[in-house]
Structure 1
Amino acid sequence: MIRLDNLTKVFDTPKGAVTAADHITMEVPSGEICILLGPSGCGKTTTLKMVNRIIRPTSGKVFINGEDTTDLDTQELRRNIGYVIQQIGLFPNMTIEENITVVPKLLGWDKAKYKERARELMRMIALEPDAFLKRYPSELSGGQQQRIGVARALAADPPVMLMDEPFGAIDPINRAVIQDEFLKMQQELNKTIMFVSHDIDEAIKMGDRVAVFREGRLVQYSTPDDLLAAPENAFVESFLGEDRALKRLNLVKVREVVTDEIGTVRPGDTLEQALARIDDFGYQNAILMVNDKRQPVGLITRALARTTKGYCRDHFQNVPATVTLDDDLRKVASLMFAQDTTWLPCVDEEGRVCGQITQRAMTHHLGSRFRPTQEDDAQIPDAATKE
């Protein structure tokens, strides 16, 4: 949907020519979010602004949906590209409804149509239309204004959106909420988005692809997982940080690591039977008790089963936590640390046990991307291999 072909921008300054973007070539597939990431002054914002010609390229071309935009009328180009900036940029003398409907009005939409579009978008960004549409920007919080900025960019239903650090000025709690809401919206809207950020965690969370810039050059362009697992060079590795393996916890879902091999007992089983089941699994110090619907209702520990006689229904602990197939490994790791456990049961949408996830399985899954391949092993000297 977006293709940059040797896009270059050279600024003339009193000290001479400065190349802000140096032959940037990349493609953003339809329906994906591409994050432009890098330190300040690396060229990511310049590259973004050349797409809608806020900054005119020195050379190179921009293609939108296969069409060369070089000869397109600038105003027409911009009206078909949604644009969201960190400073929000709402018109202070216009109501929220007027702000949202600016572009549809310019495009000649029918009044009933653009008013209904404003209400639809307000519901989409989780703000009640009747309560907010007639207000002015100064009457809203910063987070609410930022949501209105996103709604305004979506008003004319553009196929492409450009976002320049749109959530950067919002406090961490509200930023996380807005990010989550935006990703839910994107699942329905399927827009093609270029998104500038300097926050690595935001890039990993939001992006289908990440483009890392340095001094005006595109250094690496890959999926977040590939970026974290295989940095192109020392600069990218340093920029990502020493905890890049841990950052991958956000990218992996429980369903990718879960195993259906989990021991269970019923309330009517004896503690002696529970101990035998715990021994069958070996690496667990407890067994899960489930009801007739296979929902977790308790935990029988090894220590309890060894020292007590009776039935499981009379001697059990509460289940410390459960996870779902759609949870990410960061949540799982947090729960494991908080509950001082190395495994957790996994439940489906009905709350029924469908497997378990273990610390060992998580470590193996994450580490598999960092272990050398057979080709790498072949290049290791024999002496090093023996060591």
Structure 2
Amino acid sequence: MIRLDSLTKVFDTPKGAVTAADHISMDVPSGEICILLGPSGCGKTTTLKMINRIIRPTSGKVFINGEDTTSLDTQELRRSIGYVIQQIGLFPNMTIEENITVVPKLLGWDKAKYKERAREMMRMIALEPDAFLKRYPSELSGGQQQRIGVARALAADPPVMLMDEPFGAIDPINRAVIQDEFLKMQQDLKKTIMFVSHDIDEAIKMGDRIAIFREGKLVQYSEPDELLAAPRNDFVESFLGEDRALKRLNLVKVRDLASNEIGLVRPDDTLATALERIESYGYLNSIVMVNDKRQPVGIINSAVARTTKGHCRDHFQSVPVVVSLDDDLRKVASLMFSNDMTWVPCVDDDGRIVGQITQRAITHHLGSRYRAHSRSGIGATGTEASPSPASKE
């Protein structure tokens, strides 16, 4: 959907020419979010602004949906691209409805259509239309204003969106909420998005692909898991941080690693039966007791089963924690550490046991990816593979 072909920007300054973006070439497939990441002054915002010609390229081309935008009228180009900035940029003298409908009006939509579109966008960003459309930006919180900024960018249903640190000025709690809401919207909207960020965790959470910039050059362009597992050079490795292996936990869901092999007992089973099933796995020190609906109702500890006689119903502890199949591994690891557990039972939407996830499985998953890159020679001094259109994991 977006293709940059050797895009370059050179600024003339009193001290001479400065290359802000140096022959940037990259493809962003339709429906994906590409995060531009790097230190201040690395060229990521300049690259973004060349796409809608807020900054005119010195050389190179921008293609949108296969069309060379060089010959397009600047205003026409900008109206076809949604644009969201950190400062939000709402018009203070316009109501929320007027802000959202600016571009549809310019495109000649009839009144009934753009008014309904405003209401539709408000519902999409989880703000009640009747409560907010007639207000002015100054009457909204920063987080609410940022949502309106996103709604305005989406109002004319553009195929492409540019976002320049859109959530950077919002406090961490509201930022996480808005990020989650935006990702839910993206699942339905499938927009193609270029997104500038300074936040590595945000990039990993939001991006289908991440582009790392340094001093005007594109250093690495990869899917998040590939980037974290195989940084191309020392700069990328340093920029990602020493905890990049832990950052990869955000990218993997429980369903990707959960084993459906899990020993269970019923309340009427004996402790001897519980101990036999625990020992059959070799690495577990407890077992889950379930009811007739296969829902966890307790834990039988191996020490209790080994030293006590009787039935499970009389000697169980409460279940410390369970996880769902859609939880990410970062949450699982946190729960394991905080509850001193090496495995956690997994449940479906109805709370029924469907398997387990172990610390061993998590460790093996992270390590196997690094070992694979080591064997193939990809790493700090290796050659970067071209990113595939596959999902993050």
TM-score (norm 2): 0.94
Partner of 1:65: 65
Distance 1:210 1:283, change over 3 A: same
Give the distance between the partners of 1:376 and 1:88, measured in 2 at CA: 44
Question: Are 1:177 and 2:177 an aligned pair?
Answer: yes
Aligned-pair distance for 1:325? Answer: 1.4
Deviation string 1:341-369 (CA, Å, 9 cap, x unpaired) is 01000111222111100001100001101
Letter in 2 for 1:98: E
Question: Are 1:205 and 2:205 an aligned pair?
Answer: yes
Letter in 1 for 2:169: A
Deviation string 1:124-163 (CA, Å, 9 cap, x unpaired) is 1111111111111001100000000000000000000000
Q: Which moved more, 1:125-134 or 1:275-284?
A: 275-284
Secondary structure of the corresponding residue to residue 55 of structure 1: coil
Deviation string 1:15-35 (CA, Å, 9 cap, x unpaired) is 000000000000100000000
Secondary structure of the corresponding residue to residue 62 of structure 1: strand
Question: Matches of residues 1-387 of structure 1 in structure 2 within 5 Å?
Answer: 1-371=1-371, 373-374=374-375
Q: Which moved more, 1:79-88 or 1:128-137?
A: 128-137
Give the distance between the partners of 2:286 and 2:264, measured in 1 at CA: 10
Secondary structure of the corresponding residue to residue 70 of structure 1: helix
Give the distance between the partners of 2:99 and 2:365, measured in 1 at CA: 48
Distance 1:360 1:108, change over 3 A: same
Give the distance between the partners of 2:226 and 2:376, measured in 1 at CA: 18
Aligned-pair distance for 1:309? Answer: 2.4
Give the distance between the partners of 2:375 and 2:119, measured in 1 at CA: 57
Secondary structure of the corresponding residue to residue 7 of structure 2: strand
Deviation string 1:236-275 (CA, Å, 9 cap, x unpaired) is 0010011111100000111111111111000111112111
Aligned-pair distance for 1:295? Answer: 1.2
Secondary structure of the corresponding residue to residue 158 of structure 2: coil
Deviation string 1:47-98 (CA, Å, 9 cap, x unpaired) is 0000000000000000010000001010000000000000000000111111
Give the distance between the partners of 1:376 and 1:188, measured in 2 at CA: 38
Give the distance between the partners of 1:109 and 1:188, measured in 2 at CA: 23
> Stretches of 4+ moved more than 3 A in 1?
372-377
Give the distance between the partners of 2:325 and 2:179, measured in 1 at CA: 21
Letter in 2 for 1:244: R
Letter in 2 for 1:366: L
Distance 1:58 1:375, change over 3 A: closer
Letter in 1 for 2:281: F
Letter in 2 for 1:296: P
Q: Percent identity?
A: 85
Secondary structure of the corresponding residue to residue 6 of structure 1: strand
Letter in 1 for 2:48: L
Aligned-pair distance for 1:374? Answer: 4.5
Letter in 2 for 1:182: F
Root-mean-square deviation (Å): 1.1
Question: Unaligned 5+ residue runs, structure 2?
Answer: 379-393
